[in-house]
Structure 1
Amino acid sequence: MASVDHHYGFEPYSTLEVQSVEASTPQVLEGSNKEVVPHPESPYLQPVSTLNAWDAPKPEANGVDKEAAVTQGQNYGEAKRTICGLSPRIFYVVLAVVVLIIIGAIAGGIAGGLSSKHSDSSSTSIPEPKTEPEPEPGTTENVNVLSTSKLAASNWTDSQGYIHRHVFFQDPYNAIITRQWDSENKTWTTNNVSQLLSSSTTGPIHPIPGTSLACASADNNWGPLYEVHVWFSEASTDPEPTISWANLNDPIGNPNFWTYTPSILRTWNNTQLAVAWQRCLRDDCVGNWVLAYQGPQGFVRIANATNWDNNTEPVVRGSAVSAGASLALAPSLNGTYVHGLTLASQRRPSSMGKTTFIGDWNWKEDDGTILDDVDPLTTRQFAATTMNNWTEALFVALSTDGGVKGARWDGTAYNAIPQINFVDGESTNFSAIAMTTDATFYGISDDQIWEYTVDASDPSTFTLAGKVYP
């Protein structure tokens, strides 16, 4: 509403403009926005006075109720009745318009609020749950362990009788990590082998992501000798990768001092690895490190500490095994000494075959079958352990669906174990496995590493011992 100027001259007027109201009444001057009322003394319409009770001179009291007279249509000159400076008719028209506007605003606000509430309710509604397939083991993005990492483990006992364990894997940055267990302190500690070798005179190392890992430990009292070795594949200038290894030569006195040895052992791409420390026939010698791998032509070969940098004669023909064949190597008794070795390899068309060391670096290539129904297309890797003071052995196979089955050597024959029962298992959808020679099992599952103990009286039962990492 525009402001109203009060003129105290002969012809007061108002600037109030209500075009829509004026257009709806017959008392409108064409081309004018002035509010008008009929004047009894003139045939023409006159402007409405804007003088109110505060502006107009007060008439002398004569006993006449002028407001009542105005209401009854009587005219007493300039003393016309006004409300807020407007004639009653215009005032009530304006009031009605204002009331309608207020009602419209209130109605619009309520409708807007209801619409907003409905919109909020729709936007915060719980969506239908989506059903997604379970991921393939080892293919999800991890933060602790490389999703394609393999696993290796070994154990040794010091002169005080304390047991030590090493578990190796790769982290998401491809670094080789070891977790070390000390039974005296009952604690796990962590070392980044790649980082420790990065500033050494022999390093750095460059393991292939997802490389097969193999680990063995020596605990010969002659010396005494305590060592831990881990093997892995590295890219090379040749078309095929080569096998290298890192040594921890003083695990008690200097557990952070690792040395690196590159190799000229050329391998089949993505070869799996298996290793064992072969004890000597006598008590006055150290023994040998024995490594099984697949060469460029697919033959399974054995390298040993006496001829480490050269390919030895193949022990399993390439035509007998599959590409990237799963391997496991376990020490065994050879007479009264732990000088024997048993090699398990993935055989065509679908079995775990046995190759036996018979002395003087001679091997019996086809020495029977350890486990039938082991399809190479659905098998990830093998692992092996010994039991009952080296007189028995257990070989297991990890399938692509995360399941584990195996076969037990009881001294006379292999007995199949169709399924391993993991007691108290937190997560058993394994993507990689490893075993030590004292019947301890390790598995990677759901970005974590778990430890189980094997029941020697019933090797189909593995009992959870705890989490290794993280």
Structure 2
Amino acid sequence: MASVGYSHGSEPYSTLEVRSVEASNSQALEGSNKEVLSNPDQEYPQVVDPQPQTAWSTPKPETPYTDKEATAVQGQTDRAAKRTICGLSPRIFYIILAGVILIVIGAIVGGVAGGVTGKRNSWNPSSPSSSSGQDTTANVNILSESKIAASNWTDPSGNTHRSVFFQDPSNAIIARQWDSENKTWTTRNVSQFMQSSTSGPINPNPGTSLTSASCDSKWGSLYEVHLFFSEPGEQNDVISWVNSNNPINNPNFWVYNNSALPTWNGTQLAAAWQRCPNDSCVGSWTVAYQGREGYIRVANSSNWGNNTTPVIRTNAVSAGASMALVPALMGSYVDGMTLATQRRPGSMGRTTFLGDWNWKEDDGTIIDDVDPLKTRQFAATTMNNFTESFFVSLSTDGSITGSRWDGNAYTAVPKIIFAQGQSTNFSAIAMTEDAMFYGISEDQIWEYSVDTSDPSTFTFAGKVYP
């Protein structure tokens, strides 16, 4: 593998910045529906002389303010008791009682209305607004805006290994890794591993695009897992990555690198391990991203700083364009690549690697009718020993459409069937090169296998996390 250079090409700086900030506001409380009944002053009960008149007491002169109904005299006790309720005149008592009843009714009506309003405004996983920070349900396992990445490799013993990456609610990058020999998932907190690194800690943007690639070259005994993400730079967001250089014997040791390549704020990312055109070398890591002026660019680990030539012009793609990058056959070797990008006004376009840093920008359409404003992201996988590929698009409403490349043409798959599926309202998706699909839904990660004979069917494989 060629050494990685850290000098980076110059690009004109643009003051244009696209922000993608999610805000979550508390619901405003509805006003009270209570009704208040006011009583005139003269209708409130008046103070009664605590000492009743007796035969030897001097009668007090009657004043205009004397409440005759509340004044008891000797010989009239039985009559006065019949004319009062709880010490109040019947008229006053019933007025107060009516007011209390109205207040209780108003409180009940207000509570019911508030409950209905609360249910109407509560988070609904099927609502597109839940993906824009309007949900009121706090996730406990996965960051609500987290993306997901996945890759696979095979060890010298023939055992399959898969890595699934995401961010937890504290913004840490978490890896769930599968070992087919032991048939177990292992959790690794990559951000925690980097806390003690001389090059760390890492500082990924919350909700950053994540993309992963793995290699398993028997030539040179190279087995590595790479994860790429965006983090703040001095002036722009930049592409950084962590890699596990010895996932067999030391899976908890990770290394941090920074390419210093400036990106469009909120860029999506796509990565692949590009094989060599012969058996005499290892290959290189390739990352597609959106540069700060909107161009789609491709960077290569053979010289990260020398990849400033755009492969797709800025007016052909949308801001924050979705992308997917997969290896492809070029003759008898898997050294080719196919890049899927979101094109304006609404499609998934194909860009093909021709060799020697040359790309065919517009090499046909993979999927028609892909509205950039209603699309979250793309994902792709290879099938049948890299002779075929399958691309999918995730919409903001959680639906997924796809297109299959059979080596000659693309065939649309307008609807994906999730057989034996659990929750399928995905907020983020990823695929590995061995036709496995992963999606975040309802604070959990689910795994499906793609039927390579009929990719319209995804078969449920299990829960990845938690």
Q: TM-score range by the shorter chain?
A: 0.7 to 0.9
> 1:251 aligns to what?
247
Contact kept, 8 Å, 2:276 with 2:282, in 1: the verdict is yes
The 3 A distance-change label for structure 1 pair 387 and 97 is same
Which of residues 103, 127, 130 in structure 1 aligns to 2:112? 127
Determine helix, strand or coil for the equivalent of 2:259.
Answer: coil
> 2:331 aligns to what?
335
Deviation sequence 1:207-254 (CA, Å, 0-9, x none)? 11111111000011123211000111111112x211111110011111
CA distance in 2, matches of 1:207, 1:253: 27
Q: Does 1:190 align with 2:183?
A: no
> 1:215 aligns to what?
212
**Unmatched 5+ residue regions in structure 1?**
1-16, 23-27, 33-91
CA distance in 2, matches of 1:117, 1:376: 57
> 2:229 aligns to what?
232
CA distance in 1, matches of 2:338, 2:100: 75
More deviation, 124-133/402-411 = 124-133
Deviation sequence 1:390-417 (CA, Å, 0-9, x none)? 1111001111111111100111110111
> 2:462 aligns to what?
466
> 2:4 aligns to what?
none
Aligned AA (1:248): S
CA distance in 1, matches of 2:372, 2:102: 58
> 2:174 aligns to what?
177
CA distance in 1, matches of 2:229, 2:309: 21
Contact kept, 8 Å, 1:424 with 1:463, in 2: the verdict is yes
CA distance in 2, matches of 1:217, 1:305: 14
Contact kept, 8 Å, 2:239 with 2:263, in 1: the verdict is yes
Deviation sequence 1:145-197 (CA, Å, 0-9, x none)? 11211111001111111111111111122211111111111111111111110
Which of residues 128, 133, 140 in structure 2 aligns to 1:143? 140
Q: Does 1:167 align with 2:164?
A: yes
CA distance in 2, matches of 1:93, 1:346: 99
Taking structure 2 as the reference length, what is the TM-score of the superposition? 0.75
Contact kept, 8 Å, 1:356 with 1:363, in 2: the verdict is yes
Q: Does 1:437 align with 2:433?
A: yes
Aligned AA (1:345): T
Residue 424 of structure 1 and its aligned partner are, at CA, apart by: 2.4
Which of residues 453, 458, 463 in structure 2 aligns to 1:457? 453
Q: Does 1:322 align with 2:306?
A: no
CA distance in 1, matches of 2:318, 2:281: 37
> 1:299 aligns to what?
295
- Larger RCO (CA under 8 A, 6+ residues apart): 2
Residue 137 of structure 1 and its aligned partner are, at CA, apart by: 3.8
Determine helix, strand or coil for the equivalent of 2:342.
Answer: strand
> 1:428 aligns to what?
424
CA distance in 1, matches of 2:311, 2:404: 23
Contact kept, 8 Å, 2:300 with 2:307, in 1: the verdict is no
The 3 A distance-change label for structure 1 pair 19 and 444 is closer
CA distance in 1, matches of 2:389, 2:402: 11
Residue 122 of structure 1 and its aligned partner are, at CA, apart by: 9.0
Taking structure 1 as the reference length, what is the TM-score of the superposition? 0.75
CA distance in 2, matches of 1:19, 1:269: 87
| Percent of matched pairs sharing the same residue | 61
**Unmatched 5+ residue regions in structure 2?**
1-49, 60-73
Determine helix, strand or coil for the equivalent of 1:262.
Answer: strand
Aligned length: 388
Contact kept, 8 Å, 1:327 with 1:345, in 2: the verdict is yes
Contact kept, 8 Å, 1:218 with 1:227, in 2: the verdict is yes
Determine helix, strand or coil for the equivalent of 1:264.
Answer: strand
Determine helix, strand or coil for the equivalent of 1:136.
Answer: helix
Residue 257 of structure 1 and its aligned partner are, at CA, apart by: 0.5
Residue 425 of structure 1 and its aligned partner are, at CA, apart by: 2.4
Aligned AA (2:194): L
